[in-house]
Structure 1
Amino acid sequence: MAAQGETYRLAFPPNQKPYISTGLPFHKSLVHHVTNTFHASKVYVIVSASISKTSNFSRLQSELGNKIVGVRYGIKQHVPWTDVLEVVNDINQKEADLIVTLGAGSLTDGAKVIAFALANQAFTLENLAKIAADAKPIDLQPCSIPIINIPTSLSGGEYTASGGATDMRTHRKHSFAHPSIGTNLVILDPTLSISTPERVWISSGMRAVDHCVEGLCSNSPKVTDSTDATYTKGLRLLVPSLLRTKKDKENQEARLDEMLGVIESMKGSKAGVPMGGSHAIGHQLGPLRVGHGETSCVMLPHVLRWNHLNGDETVKSLQRKVCGVFWGQEDIERMLKSRGLEPGTVDASDIVGALVSELGMPRTLKEVNVSEDRLDALAANTMKDRWSPTNPVPLKDKSMVLEILRMALGT
């Protein structure tokens, strides 16, 4: 039930969670739903280390009071298994009945894996390995502890029925998937996001752009006119708003449009549209300490270029859909032309690369401190990723991934 002044709706109607809350300051929406929607009395809070030092966290603590039974300060990027298990054991001991996250992508993914591990009594590294998707587990128990996310980035993990976490013994990121995994409520408050570092906000927005672009370029039979429409809507919300935010970080209208664009970017995934090489490589760049979203800034243009060079006419025509969306918006056209690009003379990789540069994000592996000696292992891990075979030009051999990585390496 909505609070007064709140818009409260499903992200993926008619019946797929999470619910979305907009229109209220985050703390007012949170208190309402903790009490009236979830009837929770033992709240466990996972807060980013930076936000924990702000008045926003103090306000959350004040509003929830003695309902808070535990606080975790930060989960490291790409969600190390050790971090997950520390929280799992703490929540289990404190018998929490609700998880609230306040912060960016790693907290969101972490909470989903934590809830799944709790449901399946995975309290050790060995037990956690047994419930990872690539272990093909059976007889899994569904998640039972609800989750509220209050995101401060555009990573989009709030909207997926899976979570990623990294086994630091192998530096490999694993997926944890189950129909029950996922957030119950996402509270969107653009005011809260203004303090997010620009690089984190913009790069996570590019991750959502990556969802849309790889979705539009997918040649899967799951692609429909409806999924194309949502990806197109997502790009039209995201790209102009990212350009506006870059110029004016206080623009709350642009920030809310970006948040809503993330939801559109995830609808195709909910319909089963697979991602491609940018996501596959990006998953494995994370354990090499490349920020979430920066992986898309670096890899998406190069994957598009490689696909264009190696794909058939169908692959090229799918990329032309992406070009049409970009050229169809005045603000974006102005930016592209200022960089010397003209319609009909460039491909999707040129356009996305221009956007990355305009936003001041990294475009090469060397810019994110990935050196040539890491490429072979990176390619080997990418071949194990679920999105490698669903790239528009399927990545069937490590040598194909290495070609893309060498293109992305930089000088």
Structure 2
Amino acid sequence: MTTQSSNLPLSGLWQPHSHLQHLYYGPSSVEKHLLSTLPSPSSSKVFIITGTSIATKTPLLHNLEHLLGTHHAGTYAGIKQHGPIACVDEATQLVARDPSIDTILSLGGGAAIDSAKTVSFRTHSRTGKWLTHLSIPTTLSAAECTAAGGYTGADGVKTGLGAARMGVTAIFYDPGYAKYTPRRLWLATGMRAVDHAVESYYHPYSSEMPWKVLSYWALTTLFELLPQTPAAGRPEQLGDEEAITRLLLAAYASSGFRGRNFKGGMGLSHSLGHALGSPYGIPHGETSCITLGHVVKYKAKNNPDDARQIARLLPATGGTPSGDDFDDALEVGDRILRLVDTLGLRQELGSRGVGKDQIPIIVERAMGGIKSGPEYDAVVRLVDSFF
């Protein structure tokens, strides 16, 4: 059975995930459809996992608990960035106290969603029962798209978990919930979606249909709409409902069609992002701002096949192809860097408190423990350019 994808000749395989049963989008989609997606509309008990900011600075949690009514079995509102193990432990213990809970509902960004997946995984390990996972994403991180989660240990290193039944059963892309997201967080997670869309193009297990096709559409939408996000005003004035909904769907298109035959990590930008993220307290969207443009240019310079695939993305970024794959791929990298500048997200590792003495540690983490060799040396030079 063919498992890898190739463009010489065009061939590949896409095996859809089976965990997602519903994807609702648009204004009031939570209010209209949430209760009907419960495993038992009459008796299901739902435990909510979210973060402190959503719980204390927006009406979202209160509204959601009110909507659930007697279905609401409890809430954990202490999830922090990168899903610290202590938070996941506390949420898991609360769920364990009530055996009637059959559903977990994540409200928020990647930390809340991944933590909810981990709680479901642990509940299954303890009881043999998987929790139905419903998700209301409020960022563009696309964590709701995969059947994998994880947590950050006390040492700052992320531990990943994966199982088909960890996947989200129903996603609600409701602009009424996402509009409260602070602008910088919204834009940074939008760059994470850009990262997903771009790295799908040079991944050997990325299928032409539907993932690359939809990633192209996603990238076009992200380049068009992210710069239009209002620059001023209260956080709840993020933008109009249609633009928010289109961006949420673009985030899904960038990652939701990965396929269950997909193997390995996303790509070098993601690997470096994980090596930089939780160990140094940098949000993953902001790691993409640091890494992606430079990684794209690195890939183009070191592999003609990668350059050929990256060049295909130039029109999606607003560019006009020259016919030279190498030059066009470099232009994609430059346009990503300019987008980061336009969004006001340009930063260097030094400004995040990371010293150059950390470069070998970062590269070793990103490369799975490799400590020497030509590729290691090349990635060391790449990471040095982040400063």
Give the TM-score category using the shorter length: 0.7 to 0.9
Output aligned runs, 1:94-173, within 5 Å: 94-95=98-99, 96-121=101-126, 144-168=130-154, 170-173=155-158
Instruction: Please state how far the C-alpha of 1:187 moved relative to its aligned partner.
Output: 1.1
Q: 1:65 to 1:370 in 2, by over 3 A?
A: same
Determine the C-alpha separation between the residues in 2 that align with 1:221 and 1:210: 16
**Are the equivalent residues in 2 in contact too, given 1:232–1:325 (CA < 8 A)?**
yes
Q: Map of 1:4-403 to 2, 5 A cutoff?
A: 15-25=18-28, 27-29=30-32, 31-33=34-36, 39-53=42-56, 54-95=58-99, 96-121=101-126, 144-168=130-154, 170-218=155-203, 220=204, 222-246=206-230, 249-270=238-259, 272=262, 275-287=266-278, 288-309=280-301, 311-327=302-318, 347-384=331-368, 398-403=376-381
The Cα of 1:215 is off from its aligned counterpart by 0.8
In structure 1, the residue corresponding to 2:126 is in which secondary structure? coil
Do the aligned partners of 1:230 and 1:267 also contact (CA within 8 Å) in 2?
no
Decide whether aligned partners of structure 1 residues 62 and 396 sit closer, same or farther in structure 2, where only a CA change above 3 A counts. Answer: farther
> For residues 40 and 105 of structure 1, do their structure 2 counterparts lie closer, same or farther at Cα, with a shift above 3 Å needed?
farther
Work out whether residues 182 and 238 of structure 2, in 8 Å CA contact, stay in contact via their aligned partners in 1: no
Check whether the contact 1:172–1:381 (CA below 8 A) recurs between aligned residues: no
SS at 1:50 equivalent? helix
CA-CA distance at 1:246 after TM superposition: 4.3
Once residues 44 and 199 of structure 2 are traced to their aligned partners in structure 1, the CA distance between those partners, rounded to angstroms, is: 42
Residue 107 of structure 2 aligns to which amino acid in structure 1? Answer: L
The question of whether the paired residues in 1 share the 8 Å contact of 2:115 and 2:149 is answered with: yes
CA–CA distance in 2 between the matches of 1:58 and 1:312?
Answer: 52
* Counterpart contact for 1:242–1:254, Cα < 8 Å: no
TM-fit CA distance, 1:173: 0.9
The letter of the residue matching 1:100 is L
Deviation at 1:174, TM superposition (A): 1.7
- Secondary structure (helix, strand or coil) at the match of 1:99 reads strand
Check the 8 A contact 1:43/1:70 in 2, yes or no: yes
Task: Say if 1:312 and 1:286 are closer, same or farther in 2 by CA, change over 3 A.
Answer: closer
> Alpha-carbon deviation of 1:37?
5.6
Aligned partner letter, 2:126: Q
Amino acid at match of 2:364: A
Shift of 1:396: 7.8
Aligned residues: 356
Query: In 2, Cα distance between the equivalents of 1:363 and 1:79?
Result: 23
Contact between 1:113 and 1:176, CA under 8 Å: does it hold in 2?
A: yes
- Could you tell me whether the CA contact under 8 Å between 2:206 and 2:258 is conserved in 1? no
SS in 1 for 2:44: coil
- Unaligned runs of 5+ residues in structure 2 are 1-14, 232-236, 322-326
Summarize the Cα distance change of 1:67–1:279 in structure 2 as closer, same or farther, 3 Å threshold.
Answer: same
Per-residue CA deviation, residues 288-319 of structure 1 (Å, 9 max, x unaligned), is 1001211111110111122223x132222222
TM-score, normalised relative to structure 1: 0.79
**SS of the residue 1:408 aligns to:** coil
Q: Tell me: CA distance 1:346–1:72, structure 2 relative to 1, closer, same or farther (3 Å).
A: same
Tell me, in whole angstroms, the C-alpha distance in 2 between the residues paired with 1:113 and 1:35: 20
1:238–1:97 distance in 2 versus 1, CA, 3 Å: same
Identity of aligned residues (%): 26
Deviation at 1:344, TM superposition (A): 5.5
In 1, Cα distance between equivalents of 2:126 and 2:55: 29
Per-residue CA shift, 1:235-270, capped at 9, x if unaligned? 122221112224583222111111111121114422
d(CA) in 2 for partners of 1:252, 1:366: 37
* Runs of 4+ more than 4 Å apart: 12-16, 34-40, 343-346
Larger RCO of the pair (alpha carbons < 8 Å, separation 6+): 2
**1:6-49 CA distances to partner (integer Å, 9 max, x unpaired)?**
xxxxxx97955141112452551365236576554322111221
Is the contact between residue 180 and residue 238 of structure 2 (CA under 8 Å) also seen in structure 1? no
Q: How far is 1:97 from its partner?
A: 1.7
Post-superposition Cα deviations, 1:108-152, rounded to whole Å, max 9, x if no partner, equal: 000001100111129xxxxxxxxxxxxxxxxxx6x6111111111
| Cα distance change, pair 246–373 in 1 and its aligned pair in 2 (3 A) | farther
Letter matched to residue 110 of structure 1: S
User: How far apart, CA to CA, are the structure 1 residues paired with 2:295 and 2:45?
Assistant: 46
